[in-house]
Structure 1
Amino acid sequence: MGCCVGEKHNNWCEEYGIVYIDAEGKEYCIFHAPADCKFVKFYDERKGGEKPALMDAEQFNGMVFERIDAVIEAGVDEERDKFDFSNWNPRCNFSGTIFPYSISFNEYDGQNDKYLPPINFISSQFSGDADFRSSQFSKNAYFISSQFSGDADFSSSQFSGDADFRSSQFSKNAYFISSQFSGDADFSSSQFSGDADFRSSQFSKNAYFISSQFSGDADFRSSQFSKNAYFISSQFSGDADFRSSQFSKNAYFISSQFSGDADFRSSQFSGDADFRSSQFSKNAYFISSQFSGDADFSSSQFSGDADFRSSQFSKNAYFISSQFSGDADFRSSQFSKNAYFISSQFSGDADFRSSQFSGDADFRSSQFSKNADFNNAEIQKQAKFTDVKFVKSSFDQMEFKGPVYFDNSIFEKEASFRNAIFHEYSNFEQTKFNNSVSFRHALFKEWSYFRNVEFNGETSFAGAISKETIVVENVDLSNFYFAETNIESFKFTECTWPRKENGRRTIADEISPRESSKGLSFTKLEEIYRRLKKVARENNDEMQASTWHYNEKEMLRKKMREENGPGIIEKLGTKTCELLPCNIEIAKTKLSKLIETSEQKRTPFLRFINTTYWIVSGYGEEPLRAGIWLLILIFGAMILACFGPDSNPPSDFITKWMWYMPLIKVNLSADGLHYLLKGLSVTLITLQAALFGFALRNKLRR
């Protein structure tokens, strides 16, 4: 019949006799017999009896070497050794062989014409160590579905043809240190139970590790992949070390799993690097790596820290829908083309300090759960942060050289844009700043839009400069502080301003307690209101101009009172109030608000004029108040009419009253005192009428 195993492998062993028949009647040659049944002479399990001695290691390995040497001595036979993918039967065929002992092939190192011819180890079992160090495989070497129970050492081996280790099992350590693969190297679906060491190996053609499993550490340091490298769906249970590796073509790590640390420091990817849907359970190191082609980490998961410091991305970098559970470090990285971080999630700190984006930087719909640090970074083209959620973020000294989009983004905690430079259009429409935000000393070279923005924390543009206009539209400015702000750069449209208890519109700087760090002196507040008035007039917003004019004068009045104390009028009013039959404290409070006056080094006359101007017309902004005072003066002249002047014949009361009115000529004889009172009445009524007309004009114009 022949060997039952050899029948499955082209009966390459038919020239060897049967040495063992099992209880079921299956026959085995010396190469395919089980390890414990490789007898020195024939034995039939069915007949029983004493079993012969087992063939020792020297005898069995000698038969292997004898078969190899015979092929070498016979010379090249390309027709016989021609590769047939479906049914390859070279002269040096060991498919299905069980190697019961450790065996060394390192004598076939190419010296003295000692080399391994085209060889087939498909489905072979190496029970001991397999030593192929420095071996030279002149053609194809097939180890498909082979099992290595001991260490497998292929260090410094040279594979001139294809090396096929598909579905092989390495129960202990596998060494391929400094090995050279001139043809395709295929380790797809292989299992490495121990460490897999491929340090300094060279893969001249494609390298396949598809669905391979590395239970121990996988070491590919300084390896060179001249063609494509396929690690699709591979599993690295231990550490995966690819430091200083070179991938000359495309590298595919799609859906790979790295349970230990993944170290690609200083690696070079000359083609595309595809890590889509990969999982990094621990730390991933890509420090100083170079990606000359596209780098795609879309949908990848980084459970530990992801370190891309000083990495270079020469083409597009894709991190779409990636998840960073630990810290993500991209400090000093360079993105020469577009960088896509769309819908990415950063659960730890995200560090992009000093990074350079030569193309677009797209972070739309991303989430930063901790610190997002872009200090000193630079984006040459569009910066897209639309619909992004930040917790704490910093963009200090960052340069946005293209358009900037932060629309619909949310900043939960502090946000800082100190000394940032916006070279092009910037859009913050419908952005929410739920905590403080600072644009201190920022530079806006083009238009900036803050439409429907929510400033829920302290907001400062102190020292910010804009060559164009910063449009603030439909925004609640209750937390917007104007101290040291270049107000002339702003345009406020349909904004909601904070109000004081009396309903007067104001700014957050005035509401803050003056003894606090944010409190300002009345002098600075006066200046802010003066500049706000200027901006409002330039924008033809007369209503706002009226408000800021009133507040400007109000700050002047309060400053004068603070520096010199209450004036004579206020003191007199307070004394009068104490004699009135009313709620004295309320009356004193109202009166003190009404007539606080005086300014340092100013004359009592100027203090009196300033106070009077406020009382009788609200600084020319309240026609109702001016009108009431005008009526008081007109009807107050009735009191003077009751006391003269007398006339002959006696005139009626109305005539006497009209005598004290301006622009009305009434002939009455009067003495000097009455002419003095008439002059005073005419002057006061005329001045008040002018103030009323001025206030009414301002009201109607606005």
Structure 2
Amino acid sequence: ACFNYATFEGETQFINTFFKVRANFQNATFENNACNTFFDSANFDGYTEFYYAKFKCDSYFRNATFNDQAFFGGATFNGRSDFGEATFKKGAHFGINSFLNNANFFMSKFEKSQIFSGELFKQEVDFSNIQCPENIRFEGVNLSEATFTDTDLRKIEFVNCTWKRYITWQLIWLWTKCLSFPLKWIWCKLVRISLNIKSIKLINIIFNLDILINYFGRDALYEDGLLDFRKYQINIDKERKKTRDKKIISQYRLLKEQAISKHDQQSVSKWHYAEKDLERKDNNWFFRIVNVSTLYWLSSGYGERPVRAGIFLGFLIIIFSFFLESAGLKPLNCGIPKISLFNNIILTVLQNAIYYKEPDYVPVGLLGKWIILLIKTIIPLQFTLLAFAVRNKFRR
């Protein structure tokens, strides 16, 4: 069948059509936006060619079977395209900028190795529950709006793909709130002026949103961020959300296993962080706050964020310095001058943190001794988390 350069202006139906030999639709145009193109349950027995075809309407290939190679190079789908439950027995080839609208490959079956490369998808694409006995490779593809629910991601290879960036706004809020007080205190100690805490409004600093998301955000599957956003917009059943979260967590775990098998340590770090982050958020607000995983996230990003671990270590040193000064310190020996500088307080904290035999200053009362005990416990632990995060960073 040859339809080279043909123009279909009305509704086009090839439902249940059997193309016994080569089907050629090169440079064909399916024109009318008000009418659709149907290839549902069509059987393409020979080569199928849609080179540079233009689908200006919605196109449906549901349950279609491509027994030989299917070529869609240069084809443009302006409307929605549906390849749900289609079978590609010898692979399909799609060109750059093919899908300008939503695309659906739900329950499609790819019996041979398949490569998706280039900027294929401009909007949502559904690869849920696809079957792939052999590997599928996505190379340089924008997957920021791609869904892979119930698909075995261990059989899919992702190379230089673009994922949705998910921003944890709680992290920004916590840092701005937590840092406002110690910054005020340091400012007052060093500059020796009183400062109203309300004048420090870090939350009002104008950030470049793209830089903020790239720095603080994480790569995520499309359904992860979408679900988190929608739960604030509509009433989602809690059990349904928990079930969906478990599926997404399982997908992250599969992505991590696939990255481990490929020795892609950078992706291992990325998907490990995403898995742990969603597990933490799966708890309600109370258990999320008291959960150990929240401290693990805040202090080192699950062992994957060395910069965060270093900042948190410095934050602890400053806080404990403030507590020690409030509790009171005295010189260990008569020859040591009385404590007067902020540097001496920090030095005392560090000396206790590394179990220095005889610190220059000791606490005056029982409260100070309890603070020293916390310093000797918490700061070495945080330093260990920092070392662990640095190790993961350079190993990967």
Distance 1:448 1:676, change over 3 A: same
- Check whether the contact 2:97–2:122 (CA below 8 A) recurs between aligned residues: no
Distance 1:342 1:558, change over 3 A: same
Give the letter aligned to residue 278 of structure 2: M
Q: Distance in 2 between matches of 1:367 and 1:657?
A: 75
Q: Displacement, 1:651?
A: 4.8
Identity of aligned residues (%): 28
Q: Report the equivalent of 1:385.
A: 50
SS of residue in 1 equivalent to 2:37: strand
Q: Distance in 2 between matches of 1:510 and 1:548?
A: 12
Q: Report the equivalent of 1:629.
A: 312
Q: Distance in 1 between matches of 2:335 and 2:249?
A: 56
Q: Report the equivalent of 2:2.
A: 340
1:684 to 378, 382, 386: 378
Q: Displacement, 1:452?
A: 1.6
Q: Distance in 2 between matches of 1:432 and 1:493?
A: 19
Q: Report the equivalent of 2:354.
A: 662
Q: Report the equivalent of 1:367.
A: 29
Greater helix share, 1 or 2? 2
Q: Displacement, 1:631?
A: 2.2
Structure 1: runs of 5 or more not aligned: 1-338, 568-596, 599-603
- Of stretches 345-354 and 671-680 in structure 1, the one that deviates more from structure 2 is 671-680
Q: Distance in 2 between matches of 1:468 and 1:528?
A: 18
SS of residue in 2 equivalent to 1:340: coil
1:663-696 Cα shifts (integer Å, max 9, x gaps): 5333799998766544431221211111111111
Q: Give the aligned CA root-mean-square deviation in angstroms.
A: 3.1
- Check whether the contact 1:430–1:450 (CA below 8 A) recurs between aligned residues: no
Distance 1:533 1:516, change over 3 A: farther
- The 5 Å alignment of 1:418-433 reads 418-433=84-99
Greater strand share, 1 or 2? 1
1:556 to 269, 279, 303: 279
Distance 1:556 1:610, change over 3 A: same
- State the structure with more CA Rg: 1
Q: Report the equivalent of 1:436.
A: 102
Q: Displacement, 1:640?
A: 6.5
TM-score for the superposition, normalised by structure 1: 0.42
Q: Report the equivalent of 1:445.
A: 111
1:490 to 145, 149, 156: 156
- Of stretches 486-495 and 381-390 in structure 1, the one that deviates more from structure 2 is 486-495
Q: Distance in 2 between matches of 1:616 and 1:430?
A: 43
1:364-394 Cα shifts (integer Å, max 9, x gaps): 2112234332222222332221211122222
1:486-538 Cα shifts (integer Å, max 9, x gaps): 33332222222233465123333234324499x96444433333333333444
Give the letter aligned to residue 508 of structure 1: Y
Q: Distance in 2 between matches of 1:413 and 1:540?
A: 39
Distance 1:382 1:453, change over 3 A: farther
- Check whether the contact 2:348–2:359 (CA below 8 A) recurs between aligned residues: no
Whether 2:200 is the aligned partner of 1:506: answer no
Q: Distance in 1 between matches of 2:357 and 2:372?
A: 12
SS of residue in 1 equivalent to 2:58: strand
- Check whether the contact 2:80–2:103 (CA below 8 A) recurs between aligned residues: yes
Distance 1:555 1:657, change over 3 A: closer
Q: Distance in 2 between matches of 1:667 and 1:478?
A: 54
- The 5 Å alignment of 1:565-644 reads 565-566=285-286, 597=288, 604=290, 607=291, 609-639=292-322, 642=325, 643-644=328-329
Q: Displacement, 1:431?
A: 4.5
Distance 1:395 1:666, change over 3 A: same
- Between the two proteins, the alignment pairs up a number of residues equal to 323
Q: Distance in 2 between matches of 1:558 and 1:524?
A: 14
SS of residue in 2 equivalent to 1:560: coil
Give the letter aligned to residue 272 of structure 2: H
Q: Report the equivalent of 2:12.
A: 350
Whether 2:388 is the aligned partner of 1:700: answer no
Distance 1:618 1:373, change over 3 A: same
- Check whether the contact 2:69–2:91 (CA below 8 A) recurs between aligned residues: yes
1:50-102 Cα shifts (integer Å, max 9, x gaps): xxxxxxxxxxxxxxxxxxxxxxxxxxxxxxxxxxxxxxxxxxxxxxxxxxxxx
- Check whether the contact 1:645–1:674 (CA below 8 A) recurs between aligned residues: no
- Check whether the contact 2:324–2:368 (CA below 8 A) recurs between aligned residues: no
Give the letter aligned to residue 276 of structure 2: K
Structure 2: runs of 5 or more not aligned: 168-211
Q: Report the equivalent of 1:237.
A: none
SS of residue in 1 equivalent to 2:283: helix
Distance 1:353 1:674, change over 3 A: same
Distance 1:657 1:354, change over 3 A: closer
Determine which structure has greater relative contact order: mean sequence separation of CA pairs < 8 Å that are 6+ residues apart, divided by chain length.
2
